Structure 1
Amino acid sequence: MNRIVVLGSSSGMPDPERACSSILIEAGDKSYLIDAGEGCASSILRHKIDPFKIKQVFITHTHADHCIGIFMLVQMMHLLENKESIEIYLPEEAVFWFENMFDALYLFKEKLSCKFELKPITHDFLFKDENLSLRAHLNRHLMSNKEFISEENLPNKMESYSFGLDLGGERIFYSSDIADLQDIENLIEEADLLFCESTHINVEELLELVKRKKVKKTILTHIPEELEVREDELIKTAKEMEYENLKFAFDGLRINLS
């Protein structure tokens, strides 16, 4: 049985009860990590995940709450003497900087027991193996930085992605951080499961969208404190709108798939 495990469900603000953004997909005899926010390595151990099964990591964008845990993940793999190779996919603009950051942290590829390779995610990115397919969809989450980047002549390309997955015939969509719901509205039609961030959107508008698009189940993640206290209210609102399958993520949540 395929399964998704939520390893981190907080917003960009650290939370004593939640790690930063990260979910794990278990399929076949492998595991796939989507985002690696701060605390993901600890969450892997806390929730009794076998780290040796992680073969691919996919980073949606390079805000710290989605990527900074990758360095501790690799360090943990090294200390566990994992001899397997890990592919780390991340926005193309970040590959050079991450290679240098690994060196700056003395995580030299040549000295690690765990071998890893940084690979670029581009605008037409598609990953496919025997268990799943994952397609990247560019979103506008980082575009608010455009004017500053231009004025300062910075190299940042504002690459940020949402992911559409096919897993055992089930359609899953992972929004990651988005500018607004326009980034995903044409991508979630009849999805079996939507993981949607809840920091940069209006949840009531999301409920209208998922009902219109016939999304079977929606899980809110990337949850800010001010929304967390509204969980019961929003689930009640969803039911009043005749949408029965809204759930708030929490660290350790396990979702069994077919």
Structure 2
Amino acid sequence: MKEDTPPPSSPPPLPVFKMPRVHKQEYWSFVRLVAPSTEMPPGQTAWKTTDAELAYCLKCKTTFKYRSGSSASIRKHMNHEHPHELGSVGREAAVKRMKNALASKRKSSAVIFSPTKRTKKINPAEEEMATRALIEWIAKCLRPLSIVEDEELRFFITLVQTMHGIYELPSRRTITERMQAHAQQLRSLLKEKNAEEVDFYSLTTDMWTSRTTDSYIALTIHFMTDFFELRSYTLEVASFCGKHTEVRIRRKLRDLMYTWG
């Protein structure tokens, strides 16, 4: 009897192996190359990319064609079948590359260079002027003194210092648009994370009124990871109009929870 051909969604009947020296890791996070047979040719100790004619996705258990020297089929599969995972892995890879670059720069700054390669340090007068400007900003804008210990602020300053040109702060309109777009991306990622990883959770809420008498309500989720680590995420901070009655608060919280599923 003729053996049936396995469907595309079945596991590959042959061994799979990782693609070496990947340029864009995000496209190969779930993809492996399929070996042409169960036994290697004589004298060969590892499979090569030129040996493979098929690729296999660990995420959706799909086998598709692969041509050596081209990742077009890999990109097509990931963009079409796993756009959310691709975006998430891509962002994580970009952040990792950035942090590695900054860590490398911080590490290299401690190394003694020759005078021609040594990073130029500002003189005492410039340092005093910068520190005075920092003090005035903290005082005039009522910023906490601990802001100089803020890791994200230090990360931002270090990032700017690694650039080879002048960075101009964006306008309020631009930063607002970018912030809203970034918030939407984080909402989508958090919804996926909650749906996949969170089985039990608790919700807390808080309300306050600003100095301009604008009222707000916040909704925060709390849960434990599989490693018993507490996680808390603020899901929403929404404006609250009208009186703070029980009925209105209950209705607002219900709407916020409905938004998050």
TM-score (norm 2): 0.23
More strand by share: 1
- The normalised TM-score by structure 1 is 0.23
Q: Higher Cα Rg: structure 1 or 2?
A: 2
